[in-house]
Amino acid sequence: MRALIIDVDGVLVTGRPEDGRNWAADLERDLGVNAADLQREFFARHWDDIIVGRAKLSERLSPSLARIAPHVSCDRLISYWFEKDSRLDSAILNDVAACRATGLKICLATNQEHMRAAYLMNVLGLAERVDGIFYSADLGCRKPEQQFFRRIEASTSLSPEELLLVDDTPANVDAARDAGWNAVQWSRDLSLSAILADFR
């Protein structure tokens, strides 16, 4: 095992900083934006293109907001979203530090668009905690597509059996195993150190 590849949302990031709930739980109260409207007009229509880099977040979000919440700017909603979806799991980060200290390479592998990937690394400070990030908008494909895993292999110059994915989504875990990777479905009763001990 030469590299541990960790998912972000649902593993390392677990919702709102104050309580772990979904970032949009109080969206209507705080900004006057109805979450169901946002899902219908923005996420359902545009997210598939945004998440693999075929479209930019702001270019698709702005006209969607103009239809459902013209009083809220695109920048305001993005800022709210990113700040509310940023609760870091300190126990995992402690495990990450311990694992890196042994020389193990640790990277993130996540379905993200460009702006939030930058926020995770630069604003939340994950760039200082891990060795890199692989994300869908940059790779041009997303989990659980096989191409996602192959592009990570090419970038790291590691073989599938040298890679271990930790992810909370069963389809992603299954796809990684189909690609020849080691993979574990994450749950809150696990720890990275225990997972690594099992594989070693």
The CA distance from 101 to 187, in Å, is: 24
Q: What is the pTM of this model?
A: 0.96
Give CATH 3.40.50.1000 domain extents, the chain. Answer: 3-15+88-199
> What is the chain's pLDDT, residue by residue, as a tens digit (200 residues)?
899 999 999 999 999 999 999 999 999 999 999 999 999 999 999 999 999 999 999 999 999 999 999 999 999 999 999 999 999 999 999 999 999 999 999 999 999 999 999 999 999 999 999 999 999 999 999 999 999 999 999 999 999 999 999 999 999 999 999 999 999 999 989 999 899 888 87
CATH 3.40.50.720 fits 3-15+88-199, yes or no: no
